């Protein structure tokens, strides 16, 4: 059986922490999409680790970690990350597997990402500049190179051919110096990757499932950044939703059981694009400061706002969410009043649906206010200790979404999770 953990908002919901927490119950932890645009934070003791490419199960000995075919791999980031986890005593070569169908991010993909953003000017996506969009474009355009290709005697020829194509696309944008620097590191990392277990991911994972082993699929980004259902064009280039698990790992839909959606108790977004409940006042600043809302990958300040139940309800529908984990509830401890967005006023008409597009639209959130709990919850261990005001807040969310908040995360620590 396969369970899934994925983000329900615009990313950074705390997936890394939650995957690390639940990994003990599984045999295989597999990333199914995204690439080094992801930044998943884990605390191992008091040490912080941010994973971009390696699945968040890596700190559990004896668990198999798989980078699936739906991922785009930056080998340089991957190599650095392997070195970082090995400092914690992780024998990454033993338990880390890479699908031969995983697409490679080339140095010129990064240059193309930069060029695309520069040419968009003020309309830029706010991409992480990791080459994600161009790498997925080459995948769907049937030009990309895959991990399995690096073992082919003609790899250099294939590489040079694609690079020439990219140079044509780059036109007047000149990133020669950076590309040369990236290429040196790239080829060094390609040699490093050759020492890994490069597997046929789909047979690999299905054999494990057939043996009765338990698989946890780890999502990157969030549902509102999904290329089909997110706030297009301000999205990433992959399917971040549960459907992406099937195509990103080679797993049939009926093998999937629990779909665990993660939401913050409030909401954040990094990069451009619509965000109806965004706060531009001191409350937004409070959430950013208290929640330390700065990008794990780029360090950019995250935009902060209230929880958006219209968007969450949409995400629950698209994903088939069976249970919810609410993270960062502790960040709201000091607030007098909490607002919950329960509708959108679109051109003056109230709606509970996410529209075709939110930008270029007169859209205002409709809020319901709740009393803050005004209590430090970070040491709570049991639901019975939960403040009444918090119970009311969560009950409203449960009823609106018709999916239960089953776990509440009350701190970044590995064991700070309350069963609701
Ligand atoms: P991800 O991309 O979904 O894995 O999330 P990130 O790691 O980018 O961002 C989540 C941040 O919140 C990280 O710094 C986590 O350590 C932190 N975090 C996760 N859960 C909690 C929580 O319940 N409370 C607090 N205070 N921090 C949390
Ligand atoms: P995790 O897995 C938050 C955002 C970028 C940008 C848009 C497109 O840590 O939750 P891309 O580089 O993918 O072309 O950027 O998506 N973005 C994320 N925001 N968390 C992430 O990952 C993100 N990955 C991409 O900021 O707005
Ligand atoms: Mg993140």
Which CATH number covers residue 227? 3.40.440.10
Residues 145 and 206 in one domain: no
CB within 8 Å of 121: residues ≥ 6 apart: none
Predicted confidence (pLDDT) per residue in 18-57, tens digit: 999 999 999 999 999 999 999 999 999 899 999 999 999 9
Query: Which domain, by its residues, includes 320?
Result: 263-419
Pick the more confident residue, 415 or 7: 7
d(CA 376, ligand 2 centre) in Å: 31
Q: Is 126 in the pocket of ligand 2 (CB under 6 A)?
A: yes
**Residue whose CA is at the smallest distance from ligand 2 atom 11:** 127
DSSP 12-47: -SSHHHHHHHHGGG-SEEEE-SB-TT--EEEEETTE
> Is residue 313's pLDDT more than 90?
yes
Ligand nearest to the CA of 219: 2
Q: What is the pLDDT of residue 176?
A: 87
Residues 224 and 289 in one domain: no
Residues 208 and 97 in one domain: yes
Residues 6 and 137 in one domain: no
List the catalytic residues: 12, 40
Residues 132 and 208 in one domain: no
Ligand 1: lining residues by beta carbon, under 6 Å: 7, 11-17, 39-41, 296, 327-328, 330-331, 409-412
Q: Is 311 in the pocket of ligand 2 (CB under 6 A)?
A: no
Spatial distance between the Cα atoms of 190 and 188, rounded to a whole number of angstroms: 5
Judge contact between 331 and 338, C-beta under 8 A. Answer: no
> Is residue 359's pLDDT more than 90?
no
Compute the average pLDDT of residues 76-81. Answer: 98
Residues 334 and 356 in one domain: yes
From the list 397, 373, 405, 369, the residue with the least C-alpha distance to 386 is 373
For the chain, the average pLDDT equals 96
Domain boundary among 219, 240, 260: 260
Residues 223 and 289 in one domain: no
Q: Is 39 in the pocket of ligand 2 (CB under 6 A)?
A: yes
Q: What is the pLDDT of residue 411?
A: 97
Q: What is the pLDDT of residue 400?
A: 98
From the list 137, 299, 312, the residue with the least C-alpha distance to 224 is 312
For 271, phi and psi rounded to 5 degrees? 100, -175
**Residue whose CA is at the smallest distance from ligand 1 atom 9:** 12
Q: What is the pLDDT of residue 173?
A: 86
Ligand 2 atom at minimal distance to the Cα of residue 298: 26
Residues 80 and 173 in one domain: no
Ligand 2 atom at minimal distance to the Cα of residue 272: 27
CATH number of the domain at 374, please: 3.90.170.10
Predicted confidence (pLDDT) per residue in 316-337, tens digit: 999 999 999 999 999 999 999 9
Q: What is the pLDDT of residue 297?
A: 81
Predicted confidence (pLDDT) per residue in 265-311, tens digit: 999 999 999 999 999 999 999 999 999 999 888 889 999 999 999 99
Domain count along the chain: 3
**Residue whose CA is at the smallest distance from ligand 2 atom 16:** 236
CATH number of the domain at 181, please: 1.10.300.10
Q: What is the pLDDT of residue 9?
A: 98
Residues 110 and 92 in one domain: no
Domain boundary among 152, 170, 193: 193
Q: How confident is the model at residue 360 (pLDDT cuts 50, 70, 90)?
A: confident
Q: How confident is the model at residue 111 (pLDDT cuts 50, 70, 90)?
A: very high
Ligand 2 atom at minimal distance to the Cα of residue 238: 13
Spatial distance between the Cα atoms of 99 and 197, rounded to a whole number of angstroms: 9
Predicted confidence (pLDDT) per residue in 141-151, tens digit: 999 999 999 99
Residues 41 and 94 in one domain: yes
Compute the average pLDDT of residues 75-85. Answer: 97
> Is residue 221's pLDDT more than 90?
yes
Give the angle 354-358-363 at the CA atoms, nearest 5°. 90
Domain boundary among 260, 287, 306: 260
């Amino acid at each position: 059986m396969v369970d899934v953990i994925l983000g329900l908002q615009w990313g950074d919901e705390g997936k890394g922490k939650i995957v690390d927490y639940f990994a003990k119950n599984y045999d295989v932890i597999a990333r199914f999409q995204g690439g080094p645009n992801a930044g998943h934070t884990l605390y191992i003791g008091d040490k912080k680790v941010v994973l971009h490419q390696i699945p968040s199960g890596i700190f559990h000995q004896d668990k198999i970690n798989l980078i699936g075919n739906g991922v785009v791999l930056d080998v340089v980031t991957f190599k650095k990350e392997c070195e970082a986890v090995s400092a914690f005593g992780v024998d990454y070569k033993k338990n880390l597997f890479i699908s031969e169908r995983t697409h490679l991010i080339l140095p010129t993909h990064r240059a193309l990402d930069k060029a695309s953003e520069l040419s968009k000017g003020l309309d830029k996506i706010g991409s992480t500049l990791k080459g994600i969009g161009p790498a997925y474009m080459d995948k769907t355009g049937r030009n990309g190179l895959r991990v399995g290709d690096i073992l082919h005697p003609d790899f250099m020829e294939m590489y040079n051919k694609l690079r020439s194509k990219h140079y044509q696309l780059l036109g007047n944008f000149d990133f020669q110096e950076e590309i040369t620097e990236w290429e040196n590191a790239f080829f060094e990392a390609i040699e490093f990757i050759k020492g890994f277990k490069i597997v046929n991911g789909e047979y690999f994972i299905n054999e494990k499932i057939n043996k009765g082993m338990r698989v946890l699929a780890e999502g990157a980004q969030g549902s509102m950044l999904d290329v089909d259902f997110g706030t297009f064009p301000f999205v990433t280039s992959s399917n971040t939703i549960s459907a992406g698990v099937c195509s990103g790992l080679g797993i049939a839909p009926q093998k999937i059981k629990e779909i665990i959606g993660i939401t913050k108790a409030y909401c954040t977004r990094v990069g451009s694009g619509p965000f109806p409940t965004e706060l531009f006042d001191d409350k937004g600043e409070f959430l950013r400061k208290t929640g330390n809302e700065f990008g794990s990958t780029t360090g950019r300040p995250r935009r902060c706002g209230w929880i958006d139940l219209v968007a969450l309800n949409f995400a629950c529908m698209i994903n088939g969410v069976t249970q919810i984990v609410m993270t960062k509830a502790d960040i709201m401890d000091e607030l007098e009043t909490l607002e919950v967005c329960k509708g959108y006023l679109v051109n003056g008409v109230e709606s509970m649906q996410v529209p075709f597009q939110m930008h270029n639209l007169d859209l205002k959130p409709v809020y319901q206010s709740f009393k803050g709990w005004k209590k430090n919850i970070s040491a709570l261990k049991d639901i019975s200790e939960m403040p009444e005001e918090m119970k009311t807040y969560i009950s409203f969310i449960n009823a609106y979404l018709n999916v239960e908040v089953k776990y509440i995360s009350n701190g970044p620590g590995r064991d700070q999770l309350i069963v609701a």
